[in-house]
């Protein structure tokens, strides 16, 4: 797998240089990033970066690898189902900003334990959105929440199966995925943007990864 990143200014949020994935579509809610964890997430757990449903599929890839593999961050904290629910705030903001969430195709159920975890994520996500909007007089937030609730499970199932197939082809287990994620995040932290238009390329395969700057020509 080969991914290319370009240094661009994040005009909407930070106003600073960050790395923008070449897969980001012009109409998508994704912008340039600076943090190593976010860049590792986009590189390993995103299948594409164009629509709101891509984020739900990426949540499922996080669940397949980092959650089931026992990932711990630098502070010794692992992912919880409540953390997945908290991610609904980003989904909500994207839809409220005018980005559609498409209806997924019909999907087969996953294992009962996974389906129960999806239900818990949905319950946690619903709680977060309701708490954040309880004093809001704009009533359309309830319709936005319902769009997520109706489509989340289908996109999550799709993302889980995509992650399972992708990493099986690469011979990577959830535990190995955690280790790879940690290494890649630290490597991205070292790769600071120097100037707008600067490019770096990530090559990922069974043997590991390389991250290098592209020659400007």
Query: What is the predicted pLDDT for the residue at 28?
Result: 74
Most confident of 32-46, 108-122, 171-185: 108-122
Residue 1 has pLDDT above 90, yes or no: no
Query: What is the predicted pLDDT for the residue at 216?
Result: 66
Query: What is the predicted pLDDT for the residue at 217?
Result: 55
What per-residue string of b and e applies to 88-116 under the rule 16 or more CB within 10 Å gives b?
beebbebbbeebebeebeeeeebeeebee
Strand blocks (E) in the chain: 2-9, 17-21, 199-205, 208-213
- Smallest CA-to-CA distance from 79 within 177, 212, 215 is with 177
How confident is the model over 44-102, as pLDDT tens digits? 999 999 899 999 999 999 999 999 999 998 788 999 999 999 999 999 999 998 999 99
Q: What pTM does this model have?
A: 0.92
How confident is the model over 126-167, as pLDDT tens digits? 999 999 988 877 678 999 999 999 999 999 999 999 999 999
CA 46 to chain centre: 6
- Smallest CA-to-CA distance from 198 within 18, 1, 10 is with 18
Query: What is the predicted pLDDT for the residue at 57?
Result: 98
Q: Is 60 left (phi over 0), alpha (psi -120 to 50) or beta?
A: alpha
Distance CA 205, CA 87 (A): 28
Mean pLDDT for the stretch of residues 9-23: 87
């Amino acid at each position: 797998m080969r991914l290319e990143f370009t240094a661009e200014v994040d005009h909407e949020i930070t106003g600073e240089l960050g790395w923008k994935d070449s897969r980001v579509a012009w109409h998508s809610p994704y912008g340039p990033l600076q943090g190593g964890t976010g860049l590792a997430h986009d590189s390993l757990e995103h299948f594409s970066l164009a629509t709101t449903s891509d984020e739900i599929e990426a949540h499922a890839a996080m669940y397949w690898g980092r959650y089931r593999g026992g990932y711990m961050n630098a502070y010794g904290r692992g992912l919880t189902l409540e953390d997945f629910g908290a991610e609904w705030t980003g989904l909500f903001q994207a839809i409220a900003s005018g980005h559609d969430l498409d209806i997924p195709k019909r999907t087969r159920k996953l294992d009962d334990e996974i389906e129960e975890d999806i239900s818990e994520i949905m319950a946690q996500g619903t709680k977060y959105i309701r708490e954040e909007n309880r004093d809001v007089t704009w009533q359309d937030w309830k319709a936005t929440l319902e769009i997520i609730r109706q489509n989340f499970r289908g996109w999550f199932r799709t993302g889980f199966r995509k992650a399972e197939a992708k990493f099986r082809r690469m011979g990577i287990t959830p535990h190995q995925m955690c280790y790879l994620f940690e290494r890649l995040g630290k490597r991205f932290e070292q790769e600071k943007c120097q100037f707008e238009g600067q490019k770096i390329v990530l090559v990922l395969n069974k043997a590991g990864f390389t991250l290098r700057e592209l020659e400007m020509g």
